[in-house]
Amino acid sequence: MKSSVIRQVVILGAIAIISIIAIQSYWVLKTWDLKEQEFHHSVNIALRKVAENLSELNESVLPLKNLVTRLSSNYYVVNMEDVIDAGQLEFFLQKEFEALALNIDFEYAIFDCSSDEMVYGNYCTYSVEPKDNVELGKLPKYDQFTYYFGVKFPARSSYLLGEMQLSILFTIMLFITILFFAYAMFVILRQRRLSQMQKDFINNMTHEFKTPISTIKISADVFLNNKSIQKDSRLMQYANIIKEQNQRLNDQVEKVLQLAKIERDSFKLNIEKVDLNELLISTLQSVELKVAEKEGVLRNNLKANKPVIHADKLHLSNIIYNLLDNAVKYRQEKPEISVETSDFGDKILLKVIDKGIGIPKEDQSKVFDKFYRIPTGNIHNVKGFGLGLFYVKKICDAHDWKINLESEPDKGTAISILMKR
């Protein structure tokens, strides 16, 4: 994934997280305000009912205004303009609060005119558990009234939070999701950094390999051209092995370097007119010796009447060689390979067919992945890095060609490439 894409994903993700947190915070605060207003409204109704009940019982007259006054978020005073009985007051308070489903702990006190003090009444609770960290008994006076009582709700905040359980639960779930997303982004960025370090290491290593590979090639050629070495068949055999394996190593290094260019997007196709049939014939000639060594058969059936296409000749040669090399390596006993071309509308269809070991169905969708090799347990008869078909797929994508694979275990594999002219 490109750095710019990752940067955009991170920025958009951060904006999304901030937006979600802002929206959720807004709705939590809005819910708190609504619950607070609902609580104040219910308390106001209940206290008015209490005042009416006491007034009716004592046959007194209630004040026309300022009956219930809220002095703080959890403290109310009620103007009675008459003497208040503590027992009656507690009874009516519990009755009216329960009628409105206000199951919240409260305490009350009655103002005594003679002593000019608030006489504490009681702390009424709906819970059997003792309340810790709750300050009780300090109900302030209110100088505007003569006969009044005060009601305080020490656990008001806890009560409102209890009423918001669903909102709080969703908020916690949301924050867990956000934390998981943030952790996932952290892991992705860390893995990308490690992947980039790995790529840089591989690229530097392969570049460093080029010098010793070139030196070994020159040395092998010197050995092969030396007359005294040519007279000794054993030394000639060793010299040929050195050159052959050095060439194999060089091919693998070149493949890694080409793939690195593709992944960095610094890879450019050198498009030119290429006669596909002619290119295939020359490539087949170089592979025929390898097939002959395995006592196999290499057939060609080049039926395309208009074989000229626009392609990068070097990379096209490489993918043809890769396909043929795989057909030779993944054989049953003796390789049996067919190469076909045919006209397909305004396109050309290239097919490489073998009767090799085949590919299991569950692995067919993965063989074009980088470094993927079909599991064979502890048996490693065929060497490689799992880059061949990945390279083929990348080159086909770069040319906008369609590649298709059909295979059946123990019966063989057919790879088709639909090429634009």
> Closest by alpha carbon to 61, among 47, 79, 75?
79
pLDDT at 130: 55
Tell me which architecture the domain covering 271-420 has in CATH: 2-Layer Sandwich (3.30)
Those residues whose C-beta lies under 8 Å from the C-beta of residue 170, and which sit 6 or more positions away, are: 24
* CA distance linking residue 251 with residue 213, whole number of Å: 10
Q: Are 77 and 63 in contact (CB under 8 A)?
A: no
pTM: 0.51
pLDDT digits 0-9 by tens, 184-224: 888 888 887 887 777 777 777 777 787 888 888 888 888 88
User: What residue type is 94 in one-letter code?
Assistant: Q
Give the residue ranges of the chain where pLDDT is below 50.
377-380
Pairing of strands 297-302, 148-152: unpaired
pLDDT at 379: 40
DSSP 310-358: EEEHHHHHHHHHHHHHHHHHT-SSS-EEEEEEEEETTEEEEEEEE-SS-
Q: Are 308 and 273 in contact (CB under 8 A)?
A: yes
Q: Are 120 and 109 in contact (CB under 8 A)?
A: yes
Question: Angle 313-329/276-293 helices, nearest 10 degrees?
Answer: 30
pLDDT at 377: 45
Helix, strand, coil share of the chain (percent; to 5): 55, 20, 30
User: What residue type is 93 in one-letter code?
Assistant: L
Pairing of strands 297-302, 336-344: parallel
Sorted by where each begins, the domain ranges of the chain are 3-163, 195-263, 271-420
Q: Are 246 and 216 in contact (CB under 8 A)?
A: yes
